[in-house]
């Protein structure tokens, strides 16, 4: 199932800035989360936003919604409660909210109060040049923003190409001092088209950037829970997101032989993707193993198609996991994020959780994971979504992850 790449000679991405919002001094800091599973999209937006905003003046409103919704109607419903707040969001492969998780619904997160300042921007036509799109969106969102604590959130179209390029571009604008966090939009594992929300517009092929500054700390944590299968393999031939050979043999043949998936996964795109979401590649790094989601296969060329670049000549592992290892990584990511708050109580947690982890946990398991997130930070509001890739850069130039959980803690 090949992923769409930028067409040759495509135009440079376009960027536009959104609104900035700063709360008046003296307003208590607050966060809120709302969720709705009603089928009427406008009503779902109004219901979830009303719960999240609660009649207060929000600085930022974030929407995580299934693409089964009529998104324009849903955004219109959210706006009725969001007022003049900066409004962003994306489609999902499942939604997470305080103590619960599910699919086909809508979740709205809102924050406001003393000490928060927010600025947003978007680059459209991102696949034409993902590095330029990341740099442009980041630069516009960060323009004029400063504070004791700052984070840059990215919500992107993960089907637009190698998301490492988005990180490289955003890093060139943000520098080493500002951490990056966020996730790639989903479409319930159809791998056809994801959407991004910016202001009152519903877009695709876009990079949405949100700068949040605060007078209290942020913390970022990450974990994945995958374990190595067998001996390391040399990536003997690759080009971008395509892996042609492992140990000088066709990559798809090596993958199928060593992991022994069901027979239908050998020649059916859907069956292969369903199996591969719980069997990623692990790339050997100095800082540990970096996970790559195997999003599809080219059955004619016998290649693996990943959602981010796999460098040639590096070492790779086949990976697998179970519910125990995945939930252990949930705790790890939460602990790391909360440690970044320096002893302050968390106001909210935002979770960017890969769809592959949901595939391991199943419907009962994702409810358990949502309860686990809430239990790690009692009293904090929790919101998030199941992604096609996650962003977490706190040091160095790299920061795109696959099949991991990234948690942003807000004090």
Q: Domain map of the chain by residue range?
A: 14-223+326-410, 227-320
In terms of phi and psi (left: phi > 0; alpha: psi -120 to 50; beta: otherwise), the region of 269 is alpha
Report the alpha-carbon distance of residue 82 to residue 85 in Å, rounded.
6
Q: Answer for the pair 336, 222: CB distance below 8 angstroms, yes or no.
A: yes
pLDDT for position 108: 98
Report the alpha-carbon distance of residue 44 to residue 283 in Å, rounded.
41
Pick the closest to residue 155 from 409, 352, 371 (CA basis). Answer: 352
- Mean pLDDT computed over every residue of the chain: 92
Q: Which helix (H) or strand (E) holds 305?
A: strand 303-306
Q: From first to last of its 411 residues, what are the pLDDT tens digits of the chain?
A: 333 333 333 467 988 887 776 655 678 999 999 999 999 999 999 999 999 999 999 999 999 999 999 999 999 999 999 999 999 999 999 999 999 999 999 999 999 999 999 999 999 999 999 999 999 999 999 998 888 899 999 999 989 988 999 999 999 999 999 999 999 999 988 889 999 999 999 999 999 999 999 999 999 999 999 999 999 999 999 998 999 999 999 999 999 999 999 999 999 999 998 899 889 999 988 767 888 889 899 999 999 999 788 999 999 999 998 889 999 999 999 999 999 999 999 999 999 999 888 888 988 889 999 999 999 999 999 999 999 999 999 877 678 998 899 999 999
Q: Where are the beta strands (DSSP E) in 4-148?
A: 14-22, 30-36, 60-65, 86-91, 95-97, 100-102, 106-112, 116-124
Q: Answer for the pair 126, 160: CB distance below 8 angstroms, yes or no.
A: yes
Q: Integer distance in angstroms from the first to the last C-alpha of the chain?
A: 41
pLDDT for position 122: 98
Fold assignment, 227-320: Elongation Factor Tu (Ef-tu); domain 3 (2.40.30)
pLDDT for position 23: 54
pLDDT for position 16: 85
Q: Answer for the pair 201, 209: CB distance below 8 angstroms, yes or no.
A: no
β-bridge mates for residue 242, sequence order = 239, 305
DSSP code, position 103: S
With tokens 């951490």, the residue in question is 179
pLDDT for position 277: 81
Q: pTM value?
A: 0.88
Q: How many helices (H) and strands (E) does the chain have?
A: 8, 27
Report the alpha-carbon distance of residue 197 to residue 186 in Å, rounded.
13
Pick the closest to residue 316 from 282, 280, 278, 292 (CA basis). Answer: 282
How many other C-beta atoms are found inside a 10 Å radius of the C-beta of residue 372? 14
pLDDT for position 24: 53
pLDDT for position 1: 33
pLDDT for position 212: 98
């Amino acid at each position: 199932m090949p992923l769409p790449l930028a067409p040759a000679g495509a135009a440079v991405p376009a960027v536009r800035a959104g609104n900035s919002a700063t709360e008046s001094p003296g307003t208590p800091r607050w966060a809120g989360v709302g969720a709705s599973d009603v089928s009427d999209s406008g009503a779902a937006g109004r219901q979830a936003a009303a719960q999240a905003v609660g009649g207060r003046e929000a600085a930022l409103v974030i929407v995580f919604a299934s693409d089964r919704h009529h998104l324009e109607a849903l955004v219109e419903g959210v706006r009725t409660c969001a007022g003049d707040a900066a409004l962003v969001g994306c489609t999902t492969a499942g939604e997470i909210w305080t103590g619960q998780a599910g699919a086909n619904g809508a979740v709205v997160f809102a924050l406001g109060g003393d000490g928060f300042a927010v600025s947003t921007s978007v680059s459209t036509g991102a696949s034409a040049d993902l590095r330029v799109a990341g740099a442009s969106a980041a630069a516009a969102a960060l323009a004029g923003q400063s504070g004791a604590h700052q984070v840059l959130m990215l919500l992107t179209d993960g089907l637009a190409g190698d998301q490492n390029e988005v990180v490289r571009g955003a890093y060139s604008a943000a520098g080493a001092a500002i951490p990056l966090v966020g996730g790639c939009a989903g479409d319930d594992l159809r791998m056809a088209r994801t959407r991004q929300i910016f202001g009152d517009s519903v877009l695709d092929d876009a990079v949405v950037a949100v700068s949040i500054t605060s007078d209290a700390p942020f913390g970022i944590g990450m974990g994945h829970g995958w374990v190595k299968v067998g001996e390391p393999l040399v990536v003997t031939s690759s080009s971008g997101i395509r892996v042609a050979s492992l140990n000088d043999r066709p990559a798809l043949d090596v993958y199928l032989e060593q992991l022994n998936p069901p027979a239908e996964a050998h020649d059916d795109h859907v069956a292969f993707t369903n199996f591969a979401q719980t069997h990623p590649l692990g790339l050997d790094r100095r800082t540990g193993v970096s996970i790559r989601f195997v999003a599809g296969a080219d059955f004619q060329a016998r290649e693996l198609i990943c959602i981010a670049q796999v460098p040639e000549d590096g070492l790779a592992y086949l990976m697998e996991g179970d519910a125990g290892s995945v939930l252990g990584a949930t705790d790890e990511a939460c602990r790391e994020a909360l440690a970044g708050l320096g002893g302050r109580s968390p106001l909210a947690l935002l979770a960017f959780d890969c769809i592959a982890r949901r595939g391991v946990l199943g419907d009962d398991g994702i409810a358990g994971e949502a309860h686990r997130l809430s239990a790690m930070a009692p009293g904090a509001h929790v919101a998030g979504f199941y992604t096609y890739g996650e962003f977490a850069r706190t040091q160095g130039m790299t920061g795109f992850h696959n099949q991991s959980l990234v948690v942003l803690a807000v004090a």
